[in-house]
Chains A and B, each alone.
Chain A
Amino acid sequence: MKTLFIVVISLVFNVYAEDHKHEHHEHHQEMASEPATPGESLYNIETTWTTFSNKPFKLKSLKGNQVVLAMVYLNCQYTCPMTISHMKQIENSISKEKLKNTKFVLVSFDPQNDTPSKMTEYKKKQQLNDRWTLMTSKKEEDLRELAGVLGVKYKKMADGEISHSFMITLLDQSGIIKKQLIGTDQSPKEFAKEL
Chain B
Amino acid sequence: MKVAFLFFALLLVVSTAYSQGMVAIPAGEFTPLYGSTKGVKQKERVESFDMDIYPITVGEYQSFLRKFPQWKKQNIKKIFSGKDYLRSWKGDRPSPTIDQKSPITEISWFAAKAYCSAQGKRLPTIMEWEYAASNDLQKNQDMTKKILDWYAEPNSERLGKVGSTFENKFGIWDLHGLIWEWTLDFNSSMVTGESRGDSSLEKSMYCGSGSINAAKVDDYAAFMRFAMRSSLKANYATKNLGFRCVRSIQ
CB distance from A34 to the nearest CB of B (A): 13
Is A153 in the interface zone, CB < 8 Å from B? Answer: yes
Given contacts A39-B79, A148-B233, contact A163 B194 (CB under 8 A): yes
Q: Which residues of A contact B15 (CB under 8 A)?
A: 12
> How many of chain A's residues touch chain B, expressed as a range?
35 or more
Q: Which residues of A contact B193 (CB under 8 A)?
A: 157, 161, 163
> How many of chain B's residues touch chain A, expressed as a range?
35 or more
CB distance from B235 to the nearest CB of A (A): 8
Contact yes or no, A183 B234, CB < 8 A: no
**Residue in contact with B16 in the complex, picked from A15, A157, A165, CB distance below 8 Å:** A15
* Beta-carbon contacts under 8 Å, B119-170 to A: 119-120, 122-123
Bound: A185/B199 CA distance, A: 10
Contact yes or no, B79 A163, CB < 8 A: no
CB distance from B63 to the nearest CB of A (A): 12
**Residue in contact with A153 in the complex, picked from B8, B68, B188, B235, CB distance below 8 Å:** B188
Contact yes or no, B113 A145, CB < 8 A: yes
Contact yes or no, B4 A144, CB < 8 A: no
Is B190 in the interface zone, CB < 8 Å from A? Answer: yes
Q: Which residue of A lies closest to B109 (CB)?
A: A148
Q: Which residues of A contact B4 (CB under 8 A)?
A: 1, 4
Q: Which residues of A contact B188 (CB under 8 A)?
A: 153-156
Q: Which residues of A contact B212 (CB under 8 A)?
A: none
Contact yes or no, B67 A149, CB < 8 A: no
Bound: A22/B117 CA distance, A: 10
CB distance from A27 to the nearest CB of B (A): 6
Is B95 in the interface zone, CB < 8 Å from A? Answer: no
Q: Which residues of A contact B11 (CB under 8 A)?
A: 8
Encoded as 1 (CB less than 8 Å from any B CB) or 0, chain A from 1 to 39 comes to 100110010011001000100110011001000000011
Q: Which residues of B contact A1 (CB under 8 A)?
A: 4
**Could you pull out 17 A-B pairs where Cβ atoms are within 8 angstroms?**
A11-B12, A12-B16, A12-B19, A39-B76, A39-B77, A41-B79, A44-B79, A78-B196, A148-B234, A153-B190, A157-B37, A159-B37, A164-B195, A165-B201, A167-B198, A182-B197, A184-B197
Interface residues of A (CB under 8 A from B): 1, 4-5, 8, 11-12, 15, 19, 22-23, 26-27, 30, 38-42, 44-45, 78-79, 140-141, 144-145, 147-149, 151-159, 161, 163-167, 182-185
Interface residues of B (CB under 8 A from A): 4-5, 8, 11-12, 15-16, 19, 37, 42, 67-68, 70, 76-80, 109-110, 113, 117-120, 122-123, 184-185, 187-199, 201, 230, 233-235
